[in-house]
Amino acid sequence: MNKKPKTPWPTKDAMTQIYDLHLWGGNDHDFYSGEGSHDPEIINPYIEIVTRFFKSFDKPITVCDLGCGDFNIGNHFYKYTKNYIAIDIVEALITRNQARFQAENLTFNCLDISKDELPKADCIVLRQVLQHLSNAEIELIVKKLQHYNYILLTEHIPTGNFTANIDIISGQGNRTKKQSGVDILKPPFNLNITSKTILNSHILKNNKGEIVTTLFKI
């Protein structure tokens, strides 16, 4: 008897639908990755501190941006890197980015970061991506992170104490409604690191949690 094939994760369809239906906001004529990628109060301090990190190297490093979205943020970084590889799962979004942002050291690739092989780089940028994914997908991604020197991880988490890594179905939402957030150092992910530094934290209004950026050295 033939086994039924496993049902594929619906992440690609879910993320495509988010942009098609503008579930994160924006207008009907372009892609929009939400307030977390556009609100100046949130993104300006983040851009400043990450730019400072990239400029701190004597020789520019290669950066791989996993989940680059509409590239409103990554657009500020690539000029300070040797190569900047921007990845997203939504094909039409990558096509749009390729047409809009062009530089010799900048490339865009459409990949499913949980399933596909990732490019070689010195540093990974993961900005508010894991929070939308199931634990099964995060676990596959975290295994790949062990091969990079630096991880710049940004996550939307509850303020104060919370239960880490409650599972969700991949899609528009995150774990904060369950009083949970992603912590890649805790089970079931257990990333091995040599150091951890919190670079930036922004408290959201109306008790909606905080957005925290952490630098991990592997």
Residue 97 lies in a domain: yes
Longest Cα–Cα distance in the chain: 60
Residue 5 lies in a domain: no
Phi and psi at 17, nearest 5°, equal -65, -40
Q: What is the CATH number of the domain that holds 100?
A: 3.40.50.150
CA dihedral for 7, 13, 14, 15, sign (positive or negative)? positive
The pTM of the whole model exceeds 0.75:
yes
Mean pLDDT estimate for the chain: 93
Structure confidence at residue 19 (pLDDT): 86
Identify the residue with better confidence: 173 or 112.
112
142 pLDDT band (50/70/90 cuts)? very high
pLDDT per residue over 42-101, tens digit each?
A: 999 999 999 999 999 999 999 999 999 999 999 999 999 999 999 999 999 999 999 999
Report how far Cα 149 is from the mean position of its chain's Cα atoms. Answer: 17
Residue 123 lies in a domain: yes
Range of the domain at 113: 11-217
Structure confidence at residue 50 (pLDDT): 98
Number of structural domains (the chain) is 1
